[in-house]
Structure formats: structure tokens, C-alpha cells
Copies of this chain bind each other. A is one copy, B any other.
Amino acid sequence: MAKRPLKSSVLSVMGRRTKEPPISWLMRLKLERPKLISLAAGFTDNSTLPVDESRRILNKMLGETSLGEASLQYGSTAGDDTLRDLTVRRIRRLDGNLPRQAVAYDAKRTIITNGSQQFLYMVTEALCDTGDIVLVEDPTYFVYLGIMQSRGISGRCVRMNRDGIDLEHLEQVLESIRCAGELNRLKILYLVSYYQNPTGRSTSRRVKAGALELIRHYERAAGHPIYLMEDAAYRELGFAGQQAPSALSVKGAADRVIYSGTYSKPFATGVRVGFGLLPDDLLAPVLRIKGNHDFGTGHLGQQLIVRALESGVYDKNLTKGQRKYHYKANVMTDAMRKHFPESVQWQPPQGGLNVWAEFPRRINTGIKSRLFRKVLDRNVLYVPGGLCYIDEPTRAKPNHEMRLSFGAASENDICKGIRRIGQAI
């Protein structure tokens, strides 16, 4: 055989297509510059981590032989039954225990995953082929955009109001997809419904119900169900105002709402336990995929969460965390008022870990912008708003916003970081 250079790539289409997630790049920048003040990372506050509480729970758990053995042994693919049960009861309680929608809160429809990210990944695998369409908020959670990019999924964005997506615009988008004959490719409407990452906005029940009704209407033309995937990752990190119930509480939700949540951010990000609820038709396909991924989430972490929930340690720690984030959000917005020009706008967050700062359109905040470089020269990092938008021919991609996280940075660093950004502006 003649010696030929090995030219063609050995990677799969997905292997070639998958871009580096911005999250990895942001994490690496932080590692390379230890003095960097990162207002970019989605890390939680170290002081809110239940170190002593976890120690005591684990000590007790592993002090009982049979419970200890069960915790260190394989579980089942869907996850621990007690945890699945506690999970649906918790969501139902948060939703106000409506008696009529009980079927939507069935433990059997629940699956425990390695953080909610794995759940989003597997649901997308089960539903979407290359070229399929997912509707996202404009802007949306950028790590989910990474999953879509990797799988060649086409995103269409729906404008946001203060209480979630604009239903009129949703209808326009659905109508334009129908006119293009592409409704058969539409699979999911993806909403980050509580203290949205990045904007901090929450979706009202009215919008959830309206969105569900609209996509149901277009299902007939699509020829298949269109799912509302509600990402409630930040739901438990609310610290001000009232919370709307989830889309599970809407009539008919059991067949169409995919609900994703996590114990990771509210309790401990190092214990990667998330969960999801699925319509019956999707349960088996997603469980099969989970069987191939890892045949079940680590049992030790699941058992820790079970004991934290049952003992009240989880809720107690959560209250502590919510107070801390409320305080830090105020520290950040106070500093912003002091150091940012008046032309910069934001809403005081009611939960989550981020402030979304809107600059005048002429100020470019993108990765290649002068501002980003000047801020980085001052050892401060933020998430450029542009990362949270998909490319869409019908509108110019906004690049004049910043996601500023108050989760991980100390109060002192928050103040310093905001001051330096103010100077750079």
C-alpha cells in the first residue's frame, strides 16, 4: 500500500462540529490568571456550602452498615425511589398542591441525573435529529446552546418580556415555521422559567399556560407532540417576590411538559444530583439512553440528598443561601449604581446568581471588543451577553449586554470588579 498522509478527519460529524463550550473557556481563563475576579463563573458561594451538615449526614449514613452498603452500591437507572418520590412531592408543594394535576407529579415519571445538564442533554438526544428545531428565549442559557450546536439543531428565538416570552411573537414564529413547511421539525420550546440565566427574569403562569396552548395548537400541523421543556434550575434560589407555579400545574401538562430541576446549585454543586420529569411517552426512550450513558447516577450523592431533604437540613441550608445571595445581589447593584454610568440599565434580581446589565447599543461588550479586553486587563471577567443569543437572520445579534454573577465572588471582589468595569467603560 502506498504511504499516504492521514488527511481526512477521523472524528464523527458531531465530534467535528462540537465547539468548545464558552463555559470551559471562561473556566480556563480563571485558572490561567489566579488573580482574576470572575464575575463570569456560575459557581455558588463557598460559604453557603453545607460542609458540616454533609459531614454529619454522611457520618451517620455510613455508620449504619446496610444503609452504608446501599449508598456505596449501584442503584437503578432511573434513580433512588425515595429520592424520586421526595422530588415530585417537593415540586408539587412548590406549585401549591393543586389536587387536579396530580398525574403530572408522579414519581414514576421522574429520573435522577448527573445535574440537570445531563437531563437536558439526554432529552435532546431522544427528541432531536440534526436539522430539527428548538425554540429558545432571546437570550437563553448558553450551555444549552452548546448542546444544540453540537447536535446541529436549528434554534429559533422568541422575544422576551418582563414575565417571560412574548406570546404574540411566539405565535409569529410558529406561524413562520408553519409557512416554511418546517413544523414537522419543531420538537421543543425551551424556557428557563425561574430567575432566568442570564436575564434573571421569571416566566408567569399566564405565559406558561399560553405557550402550552399555542404549541398544542400547532401540533396538529406538526403531526407530533411539541414539548414545553421547563428548565427550573434556579427555582430554589429565589430571594424576593412571589414565585409562579411551574408549567406542570397547567391543565394537560402531564403529556407535554418536560420539567428539569436540580439539587446541585441549591445544596452543593460538588454533589451533582439533578432530576427531570417526563411525559410517559418519553420516559422509556430517555431511560434507555441513560442506561447507555452510565446506567444510573452515583448512589452516594443521591442518598446524601435524600437524608438532607428528610432531615430538614436541605431547607435550612437553602434559606441561608437565599439570604446570602439576596445580600450579594444588593452589594452588586449598589456598586453598579455607584460605578456605572446612568445609561446602563438592569432589574434588581429576585433570585438566581446573576445581574443582567444592558449597556447603550453603541457599547460593544463582546469577547473581541475593546471593553472586554480593557476589563480583562484589569483582571475582571464577565460573560458577554452575545454568548447567550443564537444567530438569527431576522434580527441583529445584541452585543451590548453583560451577565454579571454574584454567586462565587466575595462581596469585596464584587465591589472591586464592578468598580473596575466602571473604570473601563
Cβ–Cβ contact A298 & B284, under 8 A: no
A51 at the interface (CB under 8 A from B): yes
Cβ–Cβ contact A127 & B15, under 8 A: yes
Cβ–Cβ contact A68 & B51, under 8 A: yes
Shortest CB distance A380–B (Å): 20
A102 at the interface (CB under 8 A from B): no
Cβ–Cβ contact B73 & A118, under 8 A: no
A179 at the interface (CB under 8 A from B): no
The residues of B that contact A252 with a CB separation of less than 8 Å are: none
Cβ–Cβ contact B287 & A24, under 8 A: yes
A320 at the interface (CB under 8 A from B): no
Chain A interface size, under 10 / 10 to 19 / 20 to 34 / 35 or more? 35 or more
From B117, B219, B293, A6 is in contact (CB under 8 Å) with: B219
Cβ–Cβ contact B284 & A43, under 8 A: no
Within 8 A of B (CB), among A10-33: 10-16, 18-21, 23-24, 27, 31
- In Å, the complex CA distance between A284 and B19 comes to 9
Shortest CB distance A266–B (Å): 12
From B6, B18, B69, B272, A49 is in contact (CB under 8 Å) with: B69
A292 at the interface (CB under 8 A from B): yes
Within 8 A of B (CB), among A232-269: 268-269
A87 at the interface (CB under 8 A from B): no
A161 at the interface (CB under 8 A from B): no
The residues of B that contact A125 with a CB separation of less than 8 Å are: 12, 14-15
From B126, B217, B219, B288, A12 is in contact (CB under 8 Å) with: B126
Cβ–Cβ contact B288 & A10, under 8 A: no
Cβ–Cβ contact B291 & A224, under 8 A: no
Looking at A57-65, A200-208, A321-329, A417-425, the stretch in contact with chain B turns out to be: A57-65
From B3, B42, B58, B118, A293 is in contact (CB under 8 Å) with: B118
The residues of B that contact A227 with a CB separation of less than 8 Å are: 10
Which of A132, A184, A220 has the largest number of chain B CB atoms within 10 A?
A220
Given A58-B55, A59-B58, A62-B51, A268–B6 Cβ distance below 8 Å? no
A150 at the interface (CB under 8 A from B): yes
Shortest CB distance A41–B (Å): 8
What sequence of 0s and 1s flags, for each residue 72-91 of chain A, a beta carbon within 8 Å of any chain B beta carbon? 11111100000000000000
- In Å, the complex CA distance between A132 and B11 comes to 11
A50 at the interface (CB under 8 A from B): yes
From B20, B31, B63, A291 is in contact (CB under 8 Å) with: B20
Cβ–Cβ contact B301 & A298, under 8 A: yes
A4 at the interface (CB under 8 A from B): yes
The residues of B that contact A54 with a CB separation of less than 8 Å are: 62, 68, 72, 300
From B74, B77, B224, B294, A118 is in contact (CB under 8 Å) with: B294
The residues of B that contact A217 with a CB separation of less than 8 Å are: 1
Cβ–Cβ contact A23 & B115, under 8 A: no
Known: A10-B227, A12-B127, A73-B268. 20 other contacts (CB 8 A): A8-B223, A12-B126, A14-B126, A20-B291, A21-B291, A24-B291, A27-B77, A42-B74, A46-B69, A49-B72, A51-B65, A52-B68, A54-B68, A55-B62, A118-B293, A147-B292, A150-B289, A271-B300, A273-B298, A300-B304
10 tightest Cβ-Cβ pairs between the two chains A and B: A55-B62, A270-B299, A51-B68, A10-B224, A15-B126, A72-B268, A272-B298, A21-B291, A72-B270, A49-B72
Q: Can you offer 29 A-B residue contacts whose CB atoms are under 8 A?
A: A2-B220, A3-B220, A6-B219, A6-B223, A8-B224, A14-B126, A15-B125, A15-B126, A15-B289, A24-B77, A24-B291, A49-B72, A55-B59, A55-B62, A58-B62, A71-B270, A72-B270, A72-B271, A74-B269, A114-B293, A117-B292, A117-B294, A118-B294, A150-B288, A269-B299, A270-B300, A272-B294, A298-B301, A300-B304
